[in-house]
Amino acid sequence: MIIKTKYKLCRRLGASIFEKCQTHKFTLSEARKSGIKRLKRRKILSEYALQLLEKQKLRFAYGIGEKQLARYVKETTAKKDAAPAETLYLRLETRLDNVVYRLGLAPTRAMARQLVSHGHILLNGKKVSIPSCQIKMGDKITIRKKSADKAVFADLKDKVKNALSLDWLNFNLQKKEGIMTGYPKLDGREIFDFKSIFEFYSR
């Protein structure tokens, strides 16, 4: 997906869905355009439109297809003994590509997905090329030895240090190994309205 398209999506869905939009350049651009649009009448969105936007926001943020998200939601709602929002969030956060991104091994989820697909990441010592592979507590994520010298893994110490600090993931810089020590939980800081997403798919 080209940068221009991502910028358009960020204007429609919010800057938080792509790392490309979380820059000073994008902020200045939006500030300039907002002054021009201020004179225009603001369109009032229907309930369905708002639900659709929330669903699209989640889908583009995690880089998953419509059919895949619909399947996740169906599987989630089938589990009667668990909170749907918590279960869906867990399903998305524990994807291998997202864990690689959260550990700081890749600057974006798209790059993390590419690293996994190209076989640069090992899961418990074995090469896994499926980005949607689910990670469990105790699983170890490492960089393949032949890939460790690649430019994308340069300055790994700084990248890991600047990565989002999470209490369910740890990274051993010496071993270049990440381990899942717990499970992610909703804490109110998420940018998604899961209730609207479930309502969209229940239509």
Q: Supply the pLDDT for residue 98.
A: 96
pLDDT-derived band at 71, boundaries 50, 70, 90: very high
pTM for the model: 0.82
* pLDDT average, residue stretch 10-23: 66
Tokens representing residue 128 in the block: 């896994």
Q: Supply the pLDDT for residue 17.
A: 65
What would the pLDDT profile of 144-162 be if each residue is shown by its tens digit? 999 988 888 888 888 887 7
CA 10 from chain centre, in angstroms, equals 14
Query: Which value, in Å, is the radius of gyration of the alpha carbons in the chain?
Result: 18
pLDDT-derived band at 132, boundaries 50, 70, 90: very high
What would the pLDDT profile of 88-122 be if each residue is shown by its tens digit? 999 999 999 999 999 999 999 999 999 999 999 99
pLDDT exceeds 50 at position 139:
yes
What domains are defined for the chain?
1-44 (no CATH), 95-180 (3.10.290.10)
Q: Which residues pair with 170 in a beta bridge?
A: 179
pLDDT exceeds 80 at position 171:
yes
CA 158 from chain centre, in angstroms, equals 21
Residue 183, CA distances (Å) to 104, 137, 161, 162, 168 in order: 18, 7, 21, 21, 6
Tokens representing residue 196 in the block: 């609207």
